[in-house]
Amino acid sequence: MTETTPSTASWITSPGADPQHPLLRTTFTPRDRVTSARLLVTALGAFHAHLNGSRVSADELAPGQTHFAKTVLLNAYDVTELINEGTNALAIEVGRGFYAMNTPNVWGWHTPPWKDSCRALAELHLDYADGTSEMTVTDPGWKVSTGPITADSMYGGEHYDCRLEPGDWTPPASTTAPGTMP
């Protein structure tokens, strides 16, 4: 079983009382030749993870629906082939999913005991040719922003404001991301 270490990674989201569809991003530079890279990622909500401009997986609605007060599923991906020499960018976008739904419905998904702002938690484990390893983790140093999706619901769809479109904010050299993102 793979678990994150609570003392290293922390839950992050965009600022505000109820950030809609937060965009989260950090850059890192491997210090040696990477022989293996594993991304452990989850969200309170649904996420898409990107590494150097490429989606990490074709998963939709990950991490999967659970009783979030008891269990949050963790997705693990081999991302070795996506790591570049030099600067790399890890980006995560998070939507409400069933975690933070606000659309009234017969099943009560809008009033669960766990409801809060959607957020993400991730660890990127890099193993190097010299036998050492290091991690890049979600922490307060990440760039965070809201994006063009100003409201989303599993039942009601989404509201998209193209004026807030950040462009391609997931590659390492991106300069088009909104807010405080480089």
Which pTM value belongs to this model? 0.90
Q: What is the pLDDT of residues 70-111, one digit of tens each?
A: 999 999 999 999 999 999 999 999 999 888 888 888 888 888
Q: How many CA atoms lie within 13 A of 15 on its CB side?
A: 8
* pLDDT above 90 for 178: no
The stretch 58-78 carries a mean pLDDT of 93
Mean pLDDT check: name the lowest of 7-11, 15-19, 83-87, 170-174. Answer: 15-19
Q: What is the pLDDT of residues 120-173, one digit of tens each?
A: 999 999 999 999 999 999 999 999 998 899 888 888 899 999 998 888 889 998
pLDDT computed for residue 6 by the predictor: 54
CA dist., res. 67 & res. 1, Å (int):
19
Q: Residue 127, exposed/middle/buried by CB under 10 A (0-12, 13-18, 19+)?
A: middle
Nearest to 62 by CA among 41, 82, 83, 80: 41
Q: Which amino acid is at 106?
A: V
CA dist., res. 174 & res. 182, Å (int):
7
Are residues 49 and 90 in contact, defined by beta-carbon separation less than 8 angstroms? yes
% the chain with pLDDT above 70? 92
- Domains along the chain with CATH numbers: 23-164 (2.60.120.260)
Q: What is the pLDDT of residues 28-53, one digit of tens each?
A: 999 999 999 999 999 999 999 999 99
Lookup: tokens for 66 = 């659970």
pLDDT computed for residue 3 by the predictor: 55
